[in-house]
Structure 1
Amino acid sequence: MQIKIASRLLLLLIMLFISSYAMSQPPRGPLVVSPQIHPDKKVTYRYQAPSAKEVKLSAQFEKGPVAMTKEANGIWSVTVGPVKPDIYPYNFVVDGISVMDPANVAFFPNERFKASLVDIPGDTPLIHALKDVPHGAVSYEYYPSVTGTTGSLVVYTPPGYDKDASKKYPVFYLIGGTTDTEETWFKVGRANLILDNLIAEGKAKPMIIVMPYGNIEARIAEEKGGPKPADPMGRESEEAVSRAKTFEADLVKNVLPYIEKNYRTVNNKDNRAIGGFSRGGGQTLRTAFSNMDKFSWVCSYSAYLSPKEMESSYKPIYENASRTNQQLKLFWISVGNEDFLYKSTVEFMDFLKAKNVNYKSLVTDGGHTWMNTKVYLTQTAQLLFK
């Protein structure tokens, strides 16, 4: 009898707990599937907002916001496309306010607004697609940085890295752009999957990729409890150049020693490459030109240095062009013909050409986008360390 009473009490307590837990949960609306990619490459987006007066889709593959239609259950939807296969950022604009897609776990790592991401697959897998090939590993690392702060890195090691403890690898230091974080080359640029696929096809040498955070001042402010400083006014302003120097010092004095102590690396200039997109491309050029003893492979994606800055800070690069050409095994410059930095980048290339500094270039369609960066990385990764 006592056993039956105890069982009933236990069942009652469980029912009360479940009831209390259910009552404490926020109300749940209908299941929202978004984005939904159709076989014909059209994409349906949905957003639940019963009280909203207007919802629009803002996507990088559209020329402007696209109005969405409200359904009876309070879900707004729109179908667009077909869309060219690639990875694109998008968001919703709800009564004038930009919001992420709450039904989508994929987002764009950023210091500011974090857009959602849609990955539209190709009929033939794209170079950044997850394929049935050996995969490398991605690790998050923390290292002692400037002014007593702790820096953060994302590090890719190639397939087989953990199987042969005697093998050493070259290193590619790969930097994101303004407002990007150390995760952007990994989560948006898909550097790990691009290298996995190229290595599997025998098109790229196995290498370590180190992806640092480019905004040292923001990290210092965050860790010391201060406000994040505003971005410099102009890419060649005194403040921008000063911050690039801070990044350079951190990379050369802190990141390189940390990586070379904790990973199996070949520690000479011919086995180090540096590359970056946008602000990271400017950091790449300034760091490389100031440390020609450290890097033999330099990749600038959607970036430039002006003739004025070259003349004031980097005369040895072009005054002794033959020496520069011997020192650099690859000097790569790429940009899109609709990029807002296209004109300045072409001016930079013309300056180098006039000074007989050798470089390889690639001008693609499109603008200042992460769709283009994947193209640039794919092309340059096949040239590095060969």
Structure 2
Amino acid sequence: MKRIVFMAAFLAAAINAGSQNAEPVDDFKPSPVNQPGHAYPMVDSQGRVKAQLFAPDAKYVQLDIGGVKYDMVKDEEGYWTGVSNPQDVGFHYYQLVVDGAMVPDPGSLFFFGACRYGSGIEIPAPDSDIFALKNVPHGQTHEIYFNSPSTGEERRAYVYTPAEYSKNPDKRYPVLYLQHGYCENETSWPLQGRVNFIMDNLIAEGKAVPFIVVMTYGMTNDVQMGGLRNFDIKPFQTVLVDELIPYIDSNFRTLANRENRAMAGLSMGGFETRLVTLARPDVFSRYGLFSGGTYSPDDLKDHKDVKLVFMGCGSKEFPDGVNNAATALNEAGFNAVSYVSEGTAHEFHTWRRCLYEMAQLLFK
């Protein structure tokens, strides 16, 4: 038995090493999130990224993606070109290193992530159809500002309303409050997450009931990486529960009650979701954690009328954790669902898939 296990592990390692070291194929195509008219960066069918930068006076340039730096080579005209190893499918932040300075790639669109506006690239996934722009009725994503007395600021949020919203002036809708991750902001779900297209497609296919999605900035106090134990949820909880939700209920046609209100988030946003839903079971009836931890039966002992507990992550994260947590919750009488995104880690395609799966279960 030990020999069989050893051989299986050896073969798996060999296959993985082979995929990393396979000869690059010559089928690079521009990334779908490039600046208009820019051919670079490019992606091939194996998930490799090819970047190019014109910097004739630079001494060295590197492509920095997935925590690995790849040296780029300069040609006679002053163009630096470099290629990465295969990346997981989905969206990734990256940057270029020019003589030691971290800079965005001028060929890519800019996204807020990793605590900065910078470059992003899309590695085509076999299920990218779930967030594709299709010929279906499209909802609207509204940029709104609401007053926050607790912070002394006018704060911003994005609100997705389904395509039928403007055509049914007497109809009211349930609401999902959806949070971003650490070092991201309220633009992250609309841009990187492709929320509007995921919702448009699900609703058009009859897989999800129409509902509103609200996305706002979740960081109301400073927290450094590694310092989550010191994070105080109360300031953001006040903004969300006492300021944003009343604004949304007053300015959009919502079903303004706990039964028709859900909260979910990715990573740090999942951590926030867990803390808020545990502290305020009177506000939300459906909870979603995307790579953001789990709930236990003891956590929810005072939440007996919760309608749905959704917990998801990538297969390269902690799949046993979410699966075991869902089993324990179901055995305790809760409606719990676990989801594992195959082949992905702590990244946006995991969270797009989580939203796609959870949205089909909400408010039914």
* 8 A contact 2:89–2:349 mirrored in 1: no
Matches within 5 A, 1:253-292: 253-292=242-281
Within 1, Cα distance between the matches of 2:96 and 2:361? Answer: 40
Note if 1:131 corresponds to 2:168.
Answer: no
Per the alignment, residue 9 of structure 2 pairs with none
Q: Report deviation, 1:371.
A: 1.7
Q: How large is the Cα RMSD of the aligned pairs?
A: 2.9
* d(CA) in 1 for partners of 2:193, 2:130: 11
Question: 1:306·1:344 contact (CA, 8 Å) conserved in 2?
Answer: no
- Residue type matched to 1:274 in 2? M
Q: How many residues align?
A: 326
Q: Which residue of the partner structure matches residue 236 of structure 2?
A: 247
- Partner SS for 2:93: strand
The answer to whether residue 325 in structure 2 is matched with residue 336 in structure 1 is no
CA–CA distance in structure 2, aligned partners of residues 298 and 274 of structure 1: 5
- CA shift, 1:124, in A, is 7.2
Q: Please, which of 364, 368, 375 is the counterpart of residue 341 of structure 2?
A: 364
Give 1:337 shift.
3.9
Residue type at the aligned position of 1:260: D
Counterparts of 1:329 and 1:132 in 2: how far apart (Å)? 33
2:286 counterpart (264, 282, 297): 297
| Paired position in structure 2 for 1:59 | 65
Deviations 1:97-118 (CA, angstroms, capped at 9, x unpaired): 22111122x2221372333112
How far is 1:180 from its partner? 1.0
Provide the TM-score with structure 1 as the length reference.
0.76
What letter is aligned with 1:163?
Answer: K
Q: Which residue of 1 aligns with 2:156?
A: 152
**By how many angstroms is 1:346 displaced?**
7.1
More helix by share: 1
Identical-residue share of aligned pairs (%): 34
Q: CA deviation at 1:372?
A: 0.7
Q: Name stretches of at least 5 consecutive residues in structure 2 with no aligned partner.
A: 1-36
Partner residue, 2:72: 68
CA contact (8 A) 1:285 1:300 kept: yes
Q: Which runs of 5+ in 1 are unaligned?
A: 1-30, 218-228
Aligned equivalents of 1:127, 1:32: Cα separation in 2: 26
C-alpha separation in 2, matches of 1:34 and 1:269: 47
One-letter amino acid of the structure 1 residue matched with residue 54 of structure 2: Q
Change (3 A) 1:37 1:147: closer
- Structure 1 counterpart of 2:120: 117
Higher strand share: 2
Tell me the residue number matched to 2:110.
107
Q: For 1:301-355, what per-residue CA distance to the aligned partner results, in whole angstroms no more than 9, with x for missing partners?
A: 1112688xx97xx5xx22x5xxx34x1111011122433x768767866875786
1:95 aligns with one of 88, 95, 99: 99
Change (3 A) 1:126 1:85: farther
Matched to 1:118, the amino acid is I
2:211 is the alignment partner of 1:234? no
* CA distance 1:302–1:166, change in 2 (3 Å): same
Measure, in 2, the Cα distance between the counterparts of 1:127 and 1:306: 28
Alignment of 1:367-382 (within 5 A): 367-382=345-360
* Structure 2 residue 180 is matched with structure 1 residue 187: no
* Alpha carbons of structure 1 residues 357 and 262: separation in structure 2 relative to 1, 3 Å: same
Output the CA distance in 1 between the equivalents of 2:345 and 2:46: 25
The answer (yes or no) to whether the contact 2:95–2:104 under 8 Å persists in 1 is yes
Tell me, in whole angstroms, the C-alpha distance in 1 between the residues paired with 2:182 and 2:127. Answer: 32
Tell me the secondary structure at the aligned position of residue 147 of structure 1: coil
Counterpart for residue 13 of structure 1: none
* 2:357 counterpart SS class: helix
CA distance in 2, matches of 1:166, 1:367: 42
- For 1:245 and 1:125, the matched residues in 2 are separated by 37
Q: Which string of whole-angstrom CA distances, capped at 9 and with x for unpartnered residues, describes residues 111-165 of structure 1?
A: 7233311234457752112112111111111111123221110111111221221
The amino acid across from 1:133 in the alignment is V
- Confirm or deny: 8 A CA contact 1:136 1:156 kept in the other structure: yes
Q: Which range moves more in the overlay, 349-358 or 152-161? A: 349-358
Kindly provide the CA deviation profile for residues 337-380 of structure 1, in whole angstroms up to 9, marking residues without a partner as x.
Answer: 433x7687678668757866552112334321112111101100
